[in-house]
Amino acid sequence: MELAIQATDLFAKTISSTFLTFWSKMRSERYTTRLQFSSFLCREFHMLPTRIVTKCAVVLTSVVLAGVSASGQEAAEKKPVFSKNTFDLGIVVSDLEKSVKFYKDVIGMTEVKGFTAPANVATSFGLTDNQPVVVRRLVMADVKDAPSLKLMAFPKAPGAKPDQRFIHSTLGFSYLTLFVNDMDAAVERAKKAKVKPLGQTPAKVGGNNYLTVYKDPDGNFIELIGPSTKNAEPKQNNANAAFFEAARIGNVAALGQHLSNGQDIDAKQNGNVHAIGLAALFGHVEAVEFLIRNGANVDQQTKDGGTALHGASFLGRTKVVEALLKAGANVNIRNNNGITPLEECSEPWSDEISKKVDFLNRAIKVDVTAKGVEEGRPIVLKLLQAHASKSGPDRK
Give the span between the Cα atoms of 180 and 167, in whole angstroms.
22
Give 86: exposed, middle or buried? Use CB within 10 Å, 0-12, 13-18, 19+: exposed
Q: Give yes or no for a contact between 287 and 249, defined as CB atoms under 8 angstroms apart.
A: no
Contacts 24+ apart (CB under 8 A), 372-379: 372/316, 373/314, 373/315, 373/316, 374/316, 374/349, 375/316, 376/315, 376/316, 376/317, 376/318, 377/313, 377/314, 377/316, 377/345, 377/349, 378/345, 379/316, 379/318
pLDDT at 247 (0 to 100): 93
Q: Using only C-alpha atoms, what is the Rg of the chain? A: 39
pLDDT at 160 (0 to 100): 85
Q: Which residues contact 310 (CB under 8 A, 6 or more apart)?
A: 333, 335, 339, 341, 344
- Cβ neighbours of 143 (radius 10 Å): 8
The DSSP element (H or E) to which 146 belongs, if any, is none
pLDDT at 47 (0 to 100): 55
pLDDT at 22 (0 to 100): 47
In the chain (396 residues long), the average pLDDT of successive 10-residue segments reads: 52 51 52 49 51 53 55 64 79 92 93 90 86 91 86 88 80 84 93 90 82 91 88 58 92 93 88 90 95 93 91 92 92 89 87 87 86 90 81 48
Contacts 24+ apart (CB under 8 A), 15-21: 15/52, 15/56, 17/55, 18/48, 18/51, 18/52, 18/55, 19/48
- Cβ neighbours of 160 (radius 10 Å): 4
Give the span between the Cα atoms of 371 and 208, in whole angstroms.
37
Domain 238-388 class, CATH top level:
mainly alpha
pLDDT at 141 (0 to 100): 87
For the domain made up of 172-232, give the CATH fold. Answer: 2,3-Dihydroxybiphenyl 1,2-Dioxygenase; domain 1 (3.10.180)
Give the span between the Cα atoms of 184 and 210, in whole angstroms.
10
Q: Look at residues 151, 213, 215, 144 and name the one whose alpha carbon lies nearest to residue 183.
A: 213
| Backbone phi, psi, residue 347, to 5° | -70, 135
pLDDT at 55 (0 to 100): 53
pLDDT at 84 (0 to 100): 73
Q: Give yes or no for a contact between 396 and 334, defined as CB atoms under 8 angstroms apart.
A: yes
Give the span between the Cα atoms of 293 and 311, in whole angstroms.
20
pLDDT at 37 (0 to 100): 45
Give the span between the Cα atoms of 236 and 243, in whole angstroms.
11
SS3 3: helix
The DSSP element (H or E) to which 83 belongs, if any, is none
Report the DSSP beta bridge partners of residue 268. 274
